[in-house]
Chain A
Amino acid sequence: MSDTQLPRYQVFLQEKPGLPHQDVGSVHAPDPEMALLNARDVFVRRPECAGLWVVPAEAIFSRTRQELEASPEFQPDESMGAGPPSSRAEKETYYVTCKPKPAGTQTLIGEVQAASPVEALKQALEQFSSTPAPFTWWVFPARLVSSSDPAEADSLFDPALDKPFRLSTDFNTLTRMRQIKDSSQ
């Protein structure tokens, strides 16, 4: 087999307008546009979805609570490029997500202005820390986020509304089983 694996994009889904984006998993795609289409097909076969973000996986700087406790003076990952390097070293917007509970998932909690992923995470730890401390933190530059176009939300997400049979509530099997049982007694 002579395939080349396509880059991986992390996918964040917003269930309803006003709710924070949440990590749902990842897709492989050659570019952000295809990543968004793949993300729609993989993660939005049913309602609810109001918007999707895709972010190159290698641009996400992540630390778990355990890693932060082990080395509070963290270094950037060697493997991490943060996408096209921002040589200007100027401050830019980074999105911050964290997982506050033992179960649950990465959820957007805000943004910081920083010149590097390490600086962004340091700021996030100062600004958004809570008690108990979140279990995981992710930061990534806003400029590398590709977002679904709100003007195309109808064509992207509304088709999921027309297929009620995708929901288990569309089948009255419990009632049918009860009727059959009653009629045989």
Chain B
Amino acid sequence: MYRTTIEKVDPAEESEQLRDFEDRIARGEKIEPGDWMPGEYRRQLLRMISQHAHSEIVGMLPEGAWITRAPSLRRKLILLAKVQDEAGHGQYLYHAAETLGASREEMLEALLDGRAKYSSIFNYPTLTWADVGVIGYLVDFAAILNQTMLARCSYGPYARAMVRICAEENFHKKQGQDIVIRLATGTPRQKAMVQDAINRWWWPTLMMFGPHDSDSPNTPILVRWGIKTRTNDELRQTFIDQIVPELHTLGLSLPDPALVYAEATGHWLTGEINWEEFWRVVKGNGPCNRERMEARRTAHADGAWVREALAAYARLQANGK
């Protein structure tokens, strides 16, 4: 039902189409499957949406590891519901990418054979129960800021997927914040445990927003075509300015001796992010990259019999009746 072929046209006509396309975005119209779009717009969206989908799928693993060890039945139900949501978000996003002409099978293949990227945050280990709280509170909050922006993006199917996701992510953040509040106001051991989790997740969370604007070659075209409306550094600063005072209120500190409040601008300024670590993890050499990919491949292989059974049943239905 979706036609996404990009016809070859002469440059004069193309520039007219491009002008119409940019006018529509300026007017706040959404681009829908079937509408004309520049090849580069489609390429950038496919890259972003498929990476985003993969991140939701791989993102189930670090927290999934704590479902069996949740400290109460209520926490276990909440964590199960959250991990289920991540699976659902992956499905919404694969669908959005399909409207651009990618098949779900080829996207999954790219993930399983290691060609596709996903958010580097999920290549860090979850060592204690406090990590589940900190992921919800910090990592999901960082994700919400990015996704709230994308819910206004110019491509209709991506924007609609984001609207659904944002509504559900608020639960993810709040359940995490709830855990962090409990631990931060708990026994000295609980407090030490949550401080340790903050220390380990703080810098990887700041890296989630991506390289500095000056090192982000895709940003100008993404902003021009209304895919992004805010830059990596702007989103990162919004995150820092909101979360730092909250963590201080809870009596928690941040692992950054250079962290300072700039009275003049009203912003919290951090020390420099370790970009070497960022690129090392992106390129596949983080603490858990291999473990995550192995878990995905095993899950896919273990599910083969279900897919075969479904196909056999569908064949019987088609032939038998």
B311 touches A173 (CB 8 A): no
Q: In the docked arrangement, what's the CA distance between A42 and B317, Å?
A: 24
A135 touches B30 (CB 8 A): yes
Q: Which of chain B's residues 209-256 have a Cβ closer than 8 Å to chain A?
A: 246, 249-251
- Determine how close the nearest CB of chain B comes to the CB of A42; give it in whole angstroms: 5
Shortest Cβ distance from A173 into B: residue: B177
- Determine how close the nearest CB of chain A comes to the CB of B86; give it in whole angstroms: 11
Q: In the docked arrangement, what's the CA distance between A102 and B29, Å?
A: 5
Which B residues are CB-close (under 8 A) to A122? none
Write out, one digit per residue, whether chain B residues 56-96 have a CB within 8 A of any chain A CB (1) or not (0).
00000000000000000010011001001100100110011
Q: In the docked arrangement, what's the CA distance between A123 and B73, Å?
A: 56
Shortest Cβ distance from A168 into B: residue: B170
Shortest Cβ distance from B109 into A: residue: A1
Interface residue? B189 (CB, 8 A): no
B2 touches A62 (CB 8 A): yes
- Determine how close the nearest CB of chain A comes to the CB of B70; give it in whole angstroms: 13
Interface residue? A167 (CB, 8 A): yes
* Chain B residues touching A, range: 35 or more
Interface residue? B307 (CB, 8 A): yes
Q: Count residues on chain A whose CB falls below 8 Å from chain B CBs.
A: 53
- Determine how close the nearest CB of chain A comes to the CB of B22; give it in whole angstroms: 14
Q: In the docked arrangement, what's the CA distance between A56 and B30, Å?
A: 24
Which A residues are CB-close (under 8 A) to B105? 1, 3-5
A45, A57, A67: which contacts B88 (Cβ < 8 A)?
A45
A173 touches B178 (CB 8 A): yes
Interface residue? A171 (CB, 8 A): yes
A165 touches B1 (CB 8 A): no
Interface residue? A50 (CB, 8 A): no
A8, A30, A166: which contacts B98 (Cβ < 8 A)?
A8
- Binding site secondary structure of chain B: helix
B77 touches A163 (CB 8 A): yes
B88 touches A42 (CB 8 A): yes
Interface residue? B185 (CB, 8 A): yes
Write out, one digit per residue, whether chain A residues 16-52 have a CB within 8 A of any chain B CB (1) or not (0).
0000000011111111001000000111011000000
Q: Which of B47-55, B120-128, B159-167 contacts A (4 or more CB under 8 A)?
A: B159-167
A163 touches B81 (CB 8 A): yes
Shortest Cβ distance from A46 into B: residue: B168
B171 touches A105 (CB 8 A): no
* A102-B314 in contact given A66-B36, A163-B81, A181-B249 (Cβ < 8 Å): no
Q: In the docked arrangement, what's the CA distance between A24 and B1, Å?
A: 15
B311 touches A30 (CB 8 A): yes
Which A residues are CB-close (under 8 A) to B28? 102-103
- Determine how close the nearest CB of chain A comes to the CB of B321; give it in whole angstroms: 11
Q: In the docked arrangement, what's the CA distance between A148 and B121, Å?
A: 39
- Determine how close the nearest CB of chain B comes to the CB of A139; give it in whole angstroms: 11
Which B residues are CB-close (under 8 A) to A177? 177, 181, 246, 249-250
Interface residue? B34 (CB, 8 A): yes
- Determine how close the nearest CB of chain A comes to the CB of B197; give it in whole angstroms: 17
Interface residue? A184 (CB, 8 A): yes
Q: Which of B1, B104, B160 has the most A CB atoms < 10 Å from its CB?
A: B1
Interface residue? B286 (CB, 8 A): no
Q: In the docked arrangement, what's the CA distance between A45 and B104, Å?
A: 22
Interface residue? A107 (CB, 8 A): no
* A80-B1 in contact given A102-B29, A177-B249 (Cβ < 8 Å): yes
Which B residues are CB-close (under 8 A) to A41? 88
Which residues of A come within 8 Å of B, CB atoms? 1, 3-6, 8, 10, 24-31, 34, 41-43, 45-46, 57-64, 66-67, 77, 80, 99, 102-103, 105, 135-136, 138, 163, 165-168, 170-171, 173, 176-177, 180-181, 184
Supply 16 further A-B pairs (C-beta < 8 A) apart from A27-B91, A30-B310, A163-B81: A8-B98, A24-B164, A25-B160, A31-B314, A42-B91, A45-B84, A58-B1, A59-B1, A67-B34, A80-B1, A102-B27, A102-B29, A163-B77, A171-B174, A171-B177, A173-B177
Pairs A–B under 8 Å by Cβ, sample size 24: A1-B105, A1-B109, A6-B310, A25-B161, A26-B98, A27-B91, A30-B310, A41-B88, A42-B91, A57-B1, A61-B1, A62-B2, A62-B33, A67-B34, A77-B3, A135-B30, A136-B32, A138-B1, A165-B78, A165-B81, A166-B85, A176-B178, A177-B249, A180-B250
